[in-house]
Amino acid sequence: MPELTNRFTSRRGLLFGTAAVSAGALLAGCTSNESDDEPAANDQPAAEDKPGKEVTIGFAGPQADHGWLNAINDNAKSRAKKYSDVTLEITEGSNDTAQQIGQIETLINKKVDVLVVLPADGKALTQVGLKAMRAGIPVVNLDRIFNTPQAYRCWIGGDNYGMGLNAGHYIGEKLKGKANARVIELAGLDNLELTKQRTQGFDDALKNYPNIKKVARQAAEFTVESGQAKMAQLLQAQSKFDALWNHDDDQGVGALRAIEQAGRDDFLMVGGAGALSAFQAIKQDNGVLKATVLYPPTMAASAIDLARALGQGKGVSGMAEFEIPASLTLYSAVVDKDNVDTYMSTGFK
């Protein structure tokens, strides 16, 4: 999972619906603020949102070396195709900051109407965000945040602290009747701020359940291989526990392999992000994985909606203001067998 927002930013943003399903329903109708505009399903623009001013949107993101990042690109492309008045200029993803800066400068020189940028490094790309804004090109800053609000017109992203918080509350409610319950945590890369935020949220939630103790935590690397290796270590060290929270569904694939190899089924597992494989396992309900907490890549589709609205000088349908908000934090919904069908179409591979 990529490095994302700091906790201050993620908490100060507007809690926007119940994850991307509601965000999409609202943002898909980025039109004039008419009271009769009806929100549409999250995967389609509003039927009433007729084609308007032609808008060219430049999109620059990092290299899609992770399932979530690949889904970011797919969501942006798919959303843009749904609008006959949108032309998407998309760059080749790069984790090299200098290369990404060059790509964004090319988009600025092409005089695109709006930029959507998921920076490989928010701090390193702040200056090019400022350059675009000073050139009169509004920037939608996607997920990893620039160092100053002056570098973007609108930020939209996920809530890492909220992921941990909601994972902790879900596990807490499942175990609240069990005395001396034990939980473990398979985290992501410990050098990333987002990992610290997810752990902090999880720990804060568990404070509400005095019967539960976190007995182990192991950091992995957001990869299948690391998930399998680190989970095997946890299973060897912890002969008995009641619940596991895994920060990322990609590394969760490896974690589930280790669990199966160890023949363990005596605990429940909660994942993170919203991979299709996790949704499918939750629906089948024949293993330890019972839920996952969203960090929805559909935020890229919503970013296209916001960019189009900016380019056409519109607000957000369903909101009274004439302008789009400055900051939108998506809600980290918990997906379990009761609501998994609702989210299945948003799952990434």
For 241-256, the pLDDT digits (tens) are 999 999 999 999 999 9
Q: Are residues 176 and 301 in the same domain?
A: no
Q: Are residues 146 and 196 in the same domain?
A: no
Q: Are residues 12 and 70 in the same domain?
A: yes
Q: For residue 67, what pLDDT band results from cuts at 50, 70 and 90?
A: confident
Q: Are residues 92 and 124 in the same domain?
A: yes
Q: Are residues 66 and 169 in the same domain?
A: no
| Residue 54 belongs to domain with CATH number | 3.40.50.2300
d(CA 282, CA 260): 16
Decide if pLDDT at 10 tops 60.
no
Q: Are residues 198 and 167 in the same domain?
A: yes
Query: Phi and psi at residue 317, in whole multiples of 5°?
Result: -60, 135
Q: For residue 192, what pLDDT band results from cuts at 50, 70 and 90?
A: confident
Q: Are residues 67 and 147 in the same domain?
A: yes
Place of tokens 């790069």: 94
Q: Is residue 337 in some structural domain?
A: no
Q: What is the pLDDT of residue 6?
A: 37
Q: Are residues 283 and 304 in the same domain?
A: no
Q: Is residue 216 in some structural domain?
A: yes
Q: For residue 65, what pLDDT band results from cuts at 50, 70 and 90?
A: confident
Q: Is residue 101 in some structural domain?
A: yes
Residue 295's closest CA among 158, 117, 144, 118? 158
Q: Are residues 173 and 280 in the same domain?
A: yes
Q: Is residue 339 in some structural domain?
A: no
Q: Is residue 349 in some structural domain?
A: no
Question: Which ranges constitute the DSSP H helices of 176-294?
Answer: 193-206, 224-237, 249-262, 276-284
d(CA 224, CA 180): 31
Q: Are residues 194 and 271 in the same domain?
A: yes
Q: Are residues 94 and 133 in the same domain?
A: yes
Provide mean pLDDT across the span 298-313: 96
Range of the domain at 78: 7-158+296-331
Mean pLDDT taken over the chain: 88
Q: Is residue 56 in some structural domain?
A: yes
Decide if pLDDT at 143 tops 60.
yes
Q: Is residue 303 in some structural domain?
A: yes
d(CA 195, CA 162): 12
Number of structural domains found in the chain? 2
Among 294, 310, 341, the domain-final residue is 294
Q: What is the pLDDT of residue 37?
A: 36
d(CA 277, CA 257): 13
Q: CA 103 → CA 55, 107, 115, 125, 131, distances in Å?
A: 19, 6, 11, 11, 13
Q: What is the pLDDT of residue 1?
A: 44
Provide mean pLDDT across the span 177-181: 96
Q: What is the pLDDT of residue 48?
A: 42
Q: Treating both helix axes as pointing N-terminal to C-terminal, what angle do 126-134 and 97-109 enclose, rounded to 10 degrees?
A: 10
To the question of pTM greater than 0.75 for the whole model, the response is yes
Q: Are residues 166 and 242 in the same domain?
A: yes
Decide if pLDDT at 263 tops 50.
yes
Decide if pLDDT at 44 tops 60.
no
d(CA 277, CA 254): 12
Q: CA 170 → CA 208, 217, 274, 292, 303, distances in Å?
A: 12, 18, 16, 10, 29
Q: Is residue 342 in some structural domain?
A: no
Decide if pLDDT at 133 tops 80.
yes
Decide if pLDDT at 330 tops 70.
yes
